[in-house]
């Protein structure tokens, strides 16, 4: 049993105990997110998470760049604590994408790539293989782009110039693994950002504070 604040349950403190199953009910989740106290802490909490993520990525990007050789740089990249998580998540995302449109993309834009663009690198690795990563790599339902000679490309976009500098230098150190990674310093939704020629546009979780704001980025 868990005890929730009376402001979230609408009951007196003595009657605010709910079961674990009730904690996952949509009505309770919506009530929590609509609560004034929760709404008040969301913006600073989002900024705190963003700052922490940036510091972590920037540290590792510089650590990888400082490696004495390309092989060592790749080794450091793969030693990143969450590297396997990124590989798995990228595989799931590609599966979800291909279930809606079973054609492997050739040009991908990633908005909010940060100093350590791991999702981009994992995605690019899959595109270079021209196949879905994992057990379904030879699936006949997946179609290739019409022009098979096109080299896969991922454009990493971030409004922070230092993040673009760190990530571009790091990818250059990765040799062939980083080939196909492009970079542009631009704000999300800016006039200079033309995404019409891209097959897929990724938007990082911390870009835009709501679904409507995320939609406005690509409008």
Report CA-CA distances (Å) from 36 to 5, 29, 30, 163: 12, 14, 12, 34
Q: Is 108 domain-assigned?
A: yes
Domain count, the chain: 1
DSSP helix/strand/coil, 79: coil
Q: Is 17 domain-assigned?
A: no
Q: Is 10 domain-assigned?
A: no
- What are the pLDDT digits (tens) for 84-141? 999 999 988 888 888 888 888 889 999 999 999 999 999 999 888 865 544 444 455 5
Q: Residue 41 is part of a domain; what is its CATH number?
A: 3.40.50.150
Compute the C-alpha angle 106/92/82, nearest 5°: 100
pLDDT recorded at residue 1: 44
Decide: 60 and 80 in contact? Cβ < 8 Å: yes
3-state SS of 135-165?
CCCCCCCCECCCCCCCCCEEEEEECCHHHHH
Neighbours of 120 (CB within 10 A): 27
Report d(CA 75, CA 211) in Å as an integer.
37
**Closest Cα to residue 173, out of 76, 58, 82?**
76
Decide: 32 and 18 in contact? Cβ < 8 Å: no
pLDDT recorded at residue 62: 98
Q: What is the pTM of this model?
A: 0.76
Q: Is 143 domain-assigned?
A: no
**Structural domain boundaries enclosing 158:** 35-133+150-207
Q: How confident is the model at residue 215 (pLDDT cuts 50, 70, 90)?
A: low
Decide: 114 and 57 in contact? Cβ < 8 Å: yes
């Amino acid at each position: 049993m868990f005890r929730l604040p009376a402001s979230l349950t609408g009951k007196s403190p003595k009657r605010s105990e709910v079961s674990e199953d009730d904690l996952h009910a949509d009505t309770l989740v919506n009530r929590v997110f609509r609560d004034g106290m929760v709404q008040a802490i969301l913006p600073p909490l989002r900024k705190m998470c963003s700052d922490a993520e940036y510091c972590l990525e920037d540290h590792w990007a510089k650590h990888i760049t400082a490696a004495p050789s390309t092989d060592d740089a790749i080794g450091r990249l793969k030693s990143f604590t969450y590297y396997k998580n990124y590989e798995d998540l990228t595989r799931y995302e590609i599966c979800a994408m291909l279930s809606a449109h079973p054609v492997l993309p050739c040009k991908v834009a990633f908005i909010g790539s940060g100093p350590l663009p791991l999702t981009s690198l994992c995605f690019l690795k899959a595109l270079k293989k021209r196949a879905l990563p994992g057990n379904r790599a030879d699936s006949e339902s997946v179609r290739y782009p019409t022009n098979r000679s096109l080299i896969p490309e991922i454009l990493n976009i971030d409004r922070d110039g230092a993040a673009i500098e760190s990530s571009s230098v790091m990818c250059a150190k990765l040799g062939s693994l980083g080939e196909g990674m492009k970079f542009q310093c631009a704000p999300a939704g800016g006039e200079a950002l033309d995404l019409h020629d891209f097959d897929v546009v990724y938007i990082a979780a911390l870009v835009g504070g709501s679904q409507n704001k995320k939609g406005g980025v690509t409008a």
